[in-house]
Amino acid sequence: MSRSRRLSLGAVVLVVNALQWVIAEAVTAAAWNDPPYSYATNYISDLGVPDCGTKFQGREICSPSHQLMNTSFMVQGILFAAGVILLSLLVSGRARRVVVALAATHGVAFVLVGLFHGSAHGPGYSLVVHVVAAAIGILCANTVVIMAGSLRGLGAPPSYRVFSVTVGVLGLLSETLVGVSASTAGVFERAGVYSWLLWGTVTGGLLLAGRLPRPAVLENVPV
């Protein structure tokens, strides 16, 4: 596969990844009847819990389409990792190795998120694996986003660099505020996840539209 096609494929994969997540999340949330799903107070993980009619941390949980969301979790991890790794040829050396490692770790983490549910009514280790994997996946993805804006050797315009760093930093900061209030937990959690989905959509769209440069691979990319 040529370098140009690989970059284009990576761009498409990132855009498709964001779309599949948003659609799966909306469809799964709409399947909730009683009580209605709240994007503000419910965690994203609640959509993947298979136990209907249970109560966890004060939230009534019943997700009839939990399989769809769990599948989306796993698909997201795989697609984001694939998209970033495809685009990693824009850099080389240590920077590329770090980006690939972060992307691959994110992919594995979100496959685990989909396999192990965020419910207290399963095996004792299931919730632990889910929470730890989600935290690692979120950290890795937002770090990739920040790196995309901080690597000067990519030749990206200042506006894109500021966008990437800002979105990634806000994504990480939002996750630290999840536990501040039960009424806004879902909002802050989503901010930490939508950050890299938004970045993937913008990055992929700009690359496909020819609005981002495709510089030759550099041996040592300055930070």
How many CB atoms sit inside 10 A of residue 108's CB?
Answer: 16
Task: Give Cβ neighbours of residue 36 (< 8 Å, ≥ 6 apart).
Answer: none
Confidence of residue 215 (pLDDT cuts 50, 70, 90): low
Which of these, 211, 216, 209, lies nearest to 163 by C-alpha position?
211
63: left (phi over 0), alpha (psi -120 to 50) or beta: beta
Q: What pLDDT does residue 153 have?
A: 67
Confidence of residue 219 (pLDDT cuts 50, 70, 90): very low
Q: Does the pLDDT at position 88 exceed 70?
A: yes
Query: C-alpha 201: how far from its chain's center?
Result: 11
- pTM score: 0.93
Q: Give domain limits for the chain.
A: 3-208
97-122 mean pLDDT: 93
Which of 107-116, 148-157, 178-187, 191-200 has the lowest average pLDDT?
Answer: 148-157
Average confidence score pLDDT of the chain: 91
128-134 mean pLDDT: 95
**% the chain with pLDDT above 90:** 74
pLDDT tens column, 134-190: 999 999 999 999 999 998 767 789 999 999 999 999 999 999 999 899 999 999 999
pLDDT tens column, 29-67: 999 987 899 999 999 999 999 988 878 888 889 999 999
Token look-up 């030759």 returns: 216
CA quadruple 102, 107, 112, 117: dihedral, nearest 10? 100
How many CB atoms sit inside 10 A of residue 144's CB?
Answer: 25
Confidence of residue 221 (pLDDT cuts 50, 70, 90): very low
